A and B are shown apart, each in its own frame.
Chain A
Amino acid sequence: MKNLALYLILVVGALAFIYPFYWMTMASLVPEGDISGLTLLPTTITFDSYLQMFEKIPIDRAFFNSIFVASSVTAGVLVFCSMVGYALAKLRFTGRNLIFYVIIFTMTLPFQITLIPNYILMVKFGWIDTYLALIIPYLINAFAIIMFRQAFLTIPQDLIDAARIDGCGELRIIFQILWPNIIPSLVTVGIITFMATWNEVLWPLIVIRDENLMTMPQLVTLFAVGGRAESQLGVKLASATLLALPIIVAYLFFQKYFIQSMASTGLKD
Chain B
Amino acid sequence: MRRNKLLPYFLVSPYLIHFLVFVAFPVGFSLYLTFNTWNIISPMEFVGFGNFIRVSQDGLFFKAIFNTIKFLVVHIPLQIIVALFLAETLNQKIKFRPFFRGAFFLPVVVSGVVVSMLWQQLYGFDTGILNRLMSSVGLPKVGWLTNPDVAMYSIAIMATWKNVGLYVILFLVGLQTVPPQYYEAADLEGASHWQKFRHITLPMINPTIFMVLILSTIGGFSLFIEPYIMTGGGPLNSTLSAVLYIYKQAFTNYHMGYSATLGFFFAFIILMVVFIQKRFVERGDQ
Q: Give me the interface of A with B, judged by CB distance under 8 Å.
A: 3, 6-7, 9-10, 13-14, 16-18, 20-21, 23-24, 27, 35-37, 39, 80, 83-84, 86-88, 91-93, 96, 99, 102-103, 106, 108-121, 123, 137, 139-140, 145, 164, 170, 195, 198-199, 201-202, 205-206, 217, 220-221, 224-225, 233, 236-237, 240-241, 243-244, 247-248, 251, 255-256, 258-259, 262-263, 266-267, 269
Contacts and interface: CB of A to CB of B under 8 A. Distances in A.
Given A240-B117, A267-B170, A106 B11 contact: no
Give the top 5 A-B pairs by smallest Cβ distance, nearest first. Answer: A117-B26, A36-B127, A113-B267, A140-B18, A14-B103
Interface in B154-178: 161, 165-167, 169-170, 173
B264 interface: yes
Contact of B11 (A91, A140, A258): A91
Interface string B241-267: 011001100110000100110111011
Contacts of B21: 121
Nearest to A114: B26
A237 to B, nearest CB: 7
A122 B86 CA distance: 44
A6 B225 contact: no
A258 B8 CA distance: 33
B30 to A, nearest CB: 5
B121 A237 contact: yes
A83 B90 CA distance: 40
Please indicate which of the listed interface residues B26, B89, B167, B262 has the most CB atoms of chain A within 10 Å of its own CB.
Answer: B26
Nearest to A116: B260
Interface in B227-283: 228-229, 232, 242-243, 246-247, 250-251, 256, 259-260, 262-264, 266-267, 270-271, 274
Secondary structure class of chain B's binding surface, majority of residues: helix
Contacts of B108: 262
B35 interface: no
Interface string B95-119: 0001111111111111111100111
A117 B29 contact: yes
B27 interface: yes
Nearest to B249: A116
Given A112-B266, A263-B170, A251 B109 contact: yes
B8 A117 contact: no
B26 A113 contact: yes
A117 to B, nearest CB: 3
Interface residues of B, number: 88
B23 A248 contact: no
Nearest to B172: A263
Contacts of B15: 80, 84, 99, 103, 140, 145
B206 interface: no
Interface stretch (B46-54, B69-77, B179-187, B215-223): B215-223
B14 interface: yes
B270 A110 contact: yes
B170 A217 contact: no
Contacts of B16: 99
Given A14-B99, A116-B33, A145-B15, 20 more contacts: A3-B94, A6-B89, A13-B89, A13-B104, A20-B119, A20-B122, A35-B127, A106-B19, A112-B221, A112-B270, A137-B22, A139-B14, A201-B113, A205-B247, A224-B229, A237-B118, A240-B113, A244-B111, A266-B215, A269-B211
Given A14-B99, A17-B104, A108 B221 contact: no
Contacts of B102: 255, 259
Given A199-B112, A221-B225, A116 B103 contact: no
Nearest to A252: B102
B92 interface: yes
Given A237-B117, A262-B169, A13 B100 contact: yes
B242 A112 contact: yes
Nearest to A217: B113
Contacts of B243: 112, 115, 202
A267 B169 CA distance: 11
